[in-house]
């Protein structure tokens, strides 16, 4: 495999490509596939890789209508415990599929002059985006002749922005969905080609839900691709109702702290919404009843549910109890939260029973 410094950073202009000895081969190849639309995919994380995989499969059928002309993704970054510089999951999938490394572009920003030059030289007809992670400037959007279509994991115009799944779960919604929409300069405000709704329970977490929605979005995209490629999708796409638009702003690490003055339902929804990143945290007081020694620790709250029966509550309002295999924490307005999984800083995720047993008789109080 090519080294990280060599792969995924190949920018070239049409004038340079024209002087290449392989330009005649490229021209012949384009002639043979001229009836197929030139599609460029933009995406970065693992959930985007599933969309790209669906496009690879669709483009390999005998009657396929398009070819994947290029892939645009985030630059290689340091990941995992070894902190090795690794390509994005989308780039890795493309390489594993044998896609040419010089057609995988990794600009820091989609407005870079060298990237736009290379992108324009590809003569793309349509672009598909799924969790790409960069804002697309007007100069980019003007290049694909048939437009850019985004898979957005919400029922637009609801939850426009960077964190639609997280904000929807935080709000406790039970109906959610995925939309195919044309990309315009205004954030997630383009005409909607199609959408699919689904009901969710109060247990699903953001990473699982995002994976599910992008999977549904892939299916929706493949079914709508013929209309997108022949241009009829533009005629049927519906403008969004700006009066119903809501925003899903980017999550900040500071939001991860839990306040037990809030209702248990609010906290449970936040734990589900912020699962994965940034997670949810709380500071608790550990008291040794023998020595009265006190210590404040930070707990990452992994899995919760709202306690339906408050009869098991006893002791002082600040006490954190253990019952039925879970930590029980009293919250605002007389509600209570059960915590079944936690993580102490520097340690692995543990179930509440293992964590409680590790306290060896010490008491917990919320702060």
246-256 pLDDT, tens digit per residue, is: 999 999 999 99
User: 4 is written with which tokens?
Assistant: 């990280």
Here the tokens at position 28 are 């012949």
What integer pLDDT is reported at residue 29 of this predicted model?
Answer: 44
Residue 146 region, left (φ>0) first, then alpha (ψ -120 to 50), else beta? alpha
Q: At what angle do helices 206-230 and 46-59 cross, to 10 degrees?
A: 30
Q: What is the pLDDT of residues 273-300, one digit of tens each?
A: 999 999 999 999 999 999 989 999 999 9
pLDDT at 99: 98
Chain Cα centroid distance, residue 310:
36
Question: How many Å apart are CA 102 and CA 152, to the nearest integer?
Answer: 28
**DSSP class of 249:** P
Q: What is the dihedral of CA 24, 26, 31, 37, to 10 degrees?
A: -160
Of 204, 198, 129, 123, whose CA–CA distance to 166 is shortest? 204
Which segments of the chain have a pLDDT < 50?
Answer: 1-7, 9-33
DSSP state, residue 186 = S
Lookup: tokens for 207: 């990473």
Predicted confidence at residue 259, as pLDDT, reads 97
């Amino acid at each position: 495999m090519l080294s990280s410094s060599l792969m995924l950073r190949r920018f070239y202009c049409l004038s340079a490509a024209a002087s290449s000895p392989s330009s005649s081969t490229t021209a012949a190849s384009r002639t043979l596939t001229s009836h197929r639309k030139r599609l460029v995919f933009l995406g970065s994380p693992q959930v985007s890789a599933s969309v790209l995989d669906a496009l690879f499969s669709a483009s390999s059928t005998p009657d396929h209508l398009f070819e994947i002309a290029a892939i645009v993704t985030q630059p290689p970054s340091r990941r995992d415990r070894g902190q090795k510089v690794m390509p994005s999951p989308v780039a890795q999938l493309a390489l594993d599929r044998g896609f040419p490394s010089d057609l995988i572009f990794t600009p820091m920003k989609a407005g870079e002059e060298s990237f736009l030059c290379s992108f324009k030289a590809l003569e793309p007809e349509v672009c598909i985006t799924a969790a790409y992670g960069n804002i697309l400037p007007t100069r980019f959007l003007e290049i694909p002749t048939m437009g850019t279509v985004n898979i957005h994991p919400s029922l637009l115009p609801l939850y426009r922005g960077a964190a639609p799944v997280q904000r929807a779960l935080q709000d406790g919604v039970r109906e959610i969905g995925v939309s195919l929409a044309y990309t315009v300069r205004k954030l997630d405000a383009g005409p909607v080609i199609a959408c699919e709704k689904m009901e969710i329970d109060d247990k699903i977490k953001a990473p699982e839900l995002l994976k599910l929605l992008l999977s549904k979005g892939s299916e929706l995209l493949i079914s709508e691709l013929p209309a997108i490629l022949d241009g009829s999708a533009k005629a049927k796409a519906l403008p969004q109702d700006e009066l119903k638009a809501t925003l899903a702003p980017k999550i900040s690490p500071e939001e991860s702290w839990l306040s037990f003055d809030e209702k248990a339902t609010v906290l449970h929804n936040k734990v589900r919404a912020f699962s994965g990143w940034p997670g949810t945290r709380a500071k608790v007081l550990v008291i040794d009843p023998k020595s009265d020694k006190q210590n404040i620790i930070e707990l990452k709250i992994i899995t919760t549910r709202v306690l339906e029966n408050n009869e098991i509550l006893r002791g002082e309002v600040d006490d954190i109890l253990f019952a039925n295999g879970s930590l029980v924490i009293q919250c605002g307005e007389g509600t209570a939260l059960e915590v079944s999984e936690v993580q102490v800083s520097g340690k692995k995720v543990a179930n509440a029973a293992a964590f409680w047993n590790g306290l060896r008789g010490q008491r917990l109080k919320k702060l």
